[in-house]
Amino acid sequence: MEYTELNNGIKMPTVGIGVFTFTPEEAEKSVEAALKSGYHLVDTANAYVNERGTGRGIKNSGVKREDVFVSTKLWPTEYENENAINETLERLGLDYIDLLFLHQPAGNWRAGYRQLEKAYKDGKIKAIGISNFEGKYLDELLAECEITPQVMQVECHPYFTQVETRKITEPKGIKIMAWYPLGHGDKSLVQEPIFAKLAEKYGKTPAQIILKWHNQMGFIVIPGSRNPEHIKENADIFDFELTDEEMAEIAKLDKGVRYYNGTDEQLASYATWQPDYEKE
């Protein structure tokens, strides 16, 4: 496994297991399988309603806590809950979180960010993240925050490489963590001829080629899988290197096309929707 250094000196694995859309039981099994097969990064969220399952998977793996980098996300309805971080820790069964995000630029995100800054100073979290804070939201947060975030989680893949966002994050040392790294299951992306050609050359799958592209772009990836073999494959990308010419050819795929386009109405709904933690 390879690591990247965040702007506060913390080392973070560049490939992890994500559990978006997983039931608590699925999260438990996938996280355990990933950690046992050599992963060291796990990503979940309040809104996924599987933090307890994720925590069980970490415990069941037998991997030492200090060898597991755990990231999760506060949901907007928790931004003004002063006990939200303690409750998140309780669900995970942990006494600190390696990376805690604000999940959406909705609700009172300023109060939420102050919570993260306080938890960071108190040692409850080791790094601060923001998720989906693009455009004006990113500008406003960076203008007002006391502590610059370490990681920005956004949609990112060869069809949408976050060019404009990276113009802002890269000078500040904010790492990009990609969701939908393989295009949200879009076969047209995975089946692009360039990936088939490179997969044959390197003896890899097209998905592994895409994940390697992310790796060489400097992005952190958290592909989700319920299949133990696919979980192993997703991390098996460190024994080859794409050439500069191959990276340039992949760059031509950028269409500026997203799979998810959040609207103001959706953001407003996020500010009131409450995860049902009883389902965990």
Two tokens, residue 125: 């979290």
The amino acid occupying position 73 is K
The CA distance from 193 to 206, in Å, is 9
Neighbours of 78 (CB within 10 A): 23
Beta strand residue intervals within 44-92, DSSP E: 69-74
Q: Terminus-to-terminus CA distance in the chain, angstroms?
A: 30
Please indicate whether residue 48 is annotated as part of the active site: yes
DSSP 174: P
Q: What's the CA angle centered on 79, arms 97 and 138, to 5 degrees? A: 85
Burial class of residue 62, CB neighbours in 10 A (0-12, 13-18, 19+): exposed
State the SS3 of 88-146: HHHHHCCCCECEEEECCCCCCHHHHHHHHHHHHHHCCECCEEEECCCCHHHHHHHHHCC
Catalytic option among 48, 113, 120, 159: 48
Selection from 234, 267, 12 nearest residue 131 by Cα:
267
Neighbours of 272 (CB within 10 A): 10
Residues 6+ apart with CB under 8 A from 66: none
11-13 and 3-5 strand pairing: antiparallel
Residues tagged active-site:
48
